[in-house]
Amino acid sequence: MTTRALKSPLRLSEVDNPSSLVARFGPADPLRLDCGVELSPFQIAYQTYGELDARKANAVLVCHALTADQHLANRHPVTGAQGWWTTMVGPGRPIDTNRFFVICTNVLGACMGTTGPASINPETGRPWGLDFPMVTIRDMVRAQAKLLDRLGIDSLFCVLGGSMGGMQVLQWAASYPERVFCALPIATAAKHTAQNIAFHEVGRQAVMADPDWRKGRYAEEGTRPSKGLGVARMAAHITYLSEKALHRKFGRNLQDREAPTFSFDADFQVESYLRHQGMSFVERFDANSYLYVTRAMDYFDLAADYGGVLARAFQGSSTRFCVVSFTSDWLFPTADSRATVHALNAAGGSVSFVEIATDKGHDAFLLDVPELFATTGGFIDAAARARGLGPARLISEGMVSGLPQERAEDRIEEARPARSSSKAGSGR
- Name the site residues for its own copies (rule: CB under 8 A): 1, 34-36, 130, 133-134, 191-195, 197-199, 201-202, 204-206, 208-211, 227-228, 230-231, 234-235, 238, 243, 246-247, 249-252, 260, 262-264, 266, 268, 270-271, 274-275, 278, 291, 295, 298-299, 301, 330, 333
**Best CA proximity match to 84, nearest among 370, 330, 420:** 420
Which residue lies nearer to its own copies by CB, 74 or 223?
223
The CA distance from 394 to 381, in Å, is 14
> Is there a catalytic annotation at residue 305?
no
Q: How far is the CB of 293 from its own copies (least distance, A)?
A: 12
Q: How far is the CB of 170 from its own copies (least distance, A)?
A: 16
Q: Of the listed 298, 329, 336, 381, which one is catalytic?
A: 329
> Is there a catalytic annotation at residue 149?
no
Q: Of the listed 20, 119, 163, 226, which one is catalytic?
A: 163
In degrees and rounded to multiples of 5, residue 118 shows phi and psi of: -85, -10
Which residue lies nearer to its own copies by CB, 64 or 192?
192
Q: How far is the CB of 336 from its own copies (least distance, A)?
A: 10
Which residue lies nearer to its own copies by CB, 131 or 414?
131
Q: Of the listed 96, 317, 362, 426, which one is catalytic?
A: 362
Which residue lies nearer to its own copies by CB, 146 or 276?
276
Beta 101-105 vs 156-162: how paired, if at all?
unpaired
Q: How far is the CB of 299 from its own copies (least distance, A)?
A: 6
> Is there a catalytic annotation at residue 362?
yes
| Distances, alpha carbon 288 to alpha carbons 126, 226, 275, 304, in Å | 14, 11, 21, 27
Q: How far is the CB of 83 from its own copies (least distance, A)?
A: 27
CB neighbours of 141 closer than 8 A, spacing ≥ 6? 168, 171, 172, 175, 176
The CA distance from 233 to 246, in Å, is 16
**Best CA proximity match to 415, nearest among 95, 140, 60:** 95
| Distances, alpha carbon 210 to alpha carbons 103, 225, 229, in Å | 36, 6, 8
H-state helical runs in 26-154:
137-151
Give me the active site residues, please. Answer: 163, 329, 362
